[in-house]
């Protein structure tokens, strides 16, 4: 519901989103906050510099094309003094532009327009690598009950048997496996453009439960966290 606020953990990662497009800033601030991150925004490189001087961040999300100082210029300046991870957002799709972004020291890039769920996966991956991995999320496979989901291939197996997934089911599994054992807000699964009352998520959850649960009506592996979202109960 629009009036609800996500409670953030005390150790939630703090992200700085820098983009001159107010619509994108608002979208990313809302979406990332709903998914457990602290988010500060800036409309320009100059504003970002001011915030970098006074606050510590775990990740920067920088738009490449901004009036005045570009995201590439800011990334170079930041990298010269700090190892903070950087994710570049760019409307450019040419390979030379992507390489230029990585040559500044950026950790990854995402081309606009992008799916917010993909951004969430990229952010989670960068933060895991920056923290040296660790835990189930750093492994290529997430194991739960007799199943294993390979995060890189998007492949679900029971022993040697590959379980066929639709694209929506695979997206759901990927979201759950990105933060195994943690509650994934329903909004992160439904997507930012989902209409109020959209039951598509429930349909996908039900279909996936039929494939992984012994008794789908009493799920043990894919659990509902009432009023919040879903979580995947993984093996320790």
β-strand pairing of 155-158 with 147-150: antiparallel
pLDDT at 74 over 60: yes
Residue 154 and residue 200 in one domain: yes
Q: Which two tokens stand for residue 138?
A: 């750093």
Residue 52 and residue 110 in one domain: yes
Q: Which two tokens stand for residue 166?
A: 């639709």
The residue ranges of DSSP E strands in 65-140, in sequence order, are: 86-90, 108-111
Return the CATH number at 154.
1.10.10.10
Domain limits for position 126: 14-130
Residue 120 and residue 181 in one domain: no
Any domain includes 7: no
Q: Which two tokens stand for residue 58?
A: 């775990």
Q: What are phi and psi of 22, to 5 degrees?
A: -65, -30
Residue 54 and residue 122 in one domain: yes
Residue 120 and residue 171 in one domain: no
Residue 123 and residue 168 in one domain: no
Nearest by Cα to 56 from 77, 98, 85, 24: 85
Q: Is the pTM of this model over 0.75?
A: no
pLDDT at 4 over 80: no
Range name among 75-79, 167-171, 199-203 with the lowest pLDDT average: 199-203
Q: How far apart are CA 38 and CA 202, in angstroms?
A: 28
Q: What are phi and psi of 44, to 5 degrees?
A: -155, 165
Per-residue pLDDT tens digits for 90-137: 876 555 666 676 777 788 888 888 888 778 888 887 887 777 654 444
Average pLDDT over residues 79-95: 81
Q: Which two tokens stand for residue 207?
A: 């279909």
Per-residue pLDDT tens digits for 49-63: 999 999 999 999 999
113, 130, 147 - which closes a domain = 130
Residue 126 and residue 151 in one domain: no
- Site of tokens 């590959």: 162
Any domain includes 26: yes
Range name among 11-25, 175-189, 215-229 with the lowest pLDDT average: 175-189
Can you spell out the DSSP letters for 44-65? SHHHHHHHHHH---SEEEEES-
Residue 110 and residue 159 in one domain: no
C-alpha distances in Å from residue 167, one per residue of 53, 63, 127, 154, 196: 43, 29, 26, 10, 22
Q: How far apart are CA 203 and CA 79, in angstroms?
A: 45
Q: How far apart are CA 130 and CA 160, in angstroms?
A: 33
């Amino acid at each position: 519901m629009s009036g609800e606020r996500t409670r953030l953990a005390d150790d939630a990662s703090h992200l700085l989103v820098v983009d001159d497009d107010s619509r994108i800033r608002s979208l990313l601030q809302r979406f990332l906050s709903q998914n457990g991150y602290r988010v500060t925004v800036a409309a320009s490189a100059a504003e970002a510099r001011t915030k970098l001087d006074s606050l510590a961040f775990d990740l920067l999300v920088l738009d490449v094309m901004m009036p005045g100082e570009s995201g590439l210029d800011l990334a170079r300046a930041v990298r010269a003094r700090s190892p903070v991870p950087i994710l570049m957002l760019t409307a450019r799709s040419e390979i030379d532009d992507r390489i230029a972004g990585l040559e500044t020291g950026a950790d990854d890039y995402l081309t606009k327009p992008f799916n917010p769920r993909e951004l969430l996966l990229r952010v989670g991956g960068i933060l895991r690598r920056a923290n040296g991995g660790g835990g189930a999320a750093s492994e290529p496979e997430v194991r739960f009950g007799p199943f294993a989901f390979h995060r890189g291939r998007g492949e679900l197996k029971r022993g040697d048997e590959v379980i066929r997934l639709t694209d929506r089911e695979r997206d759901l599994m990927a979201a759950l496996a990105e933060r195994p054992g943690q509650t994934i807000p329903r909004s992160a699964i439904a997507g930012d453009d989902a209409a109020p009352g959209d039951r598509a998520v429930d349909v996908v959850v039900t279909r996936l439960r039929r494939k992984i649960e012994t008794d789908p009506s009493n799920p043990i592996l894919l659990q509902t966290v009432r009023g919040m979202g879903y979580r995947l109960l993984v093996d320790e």
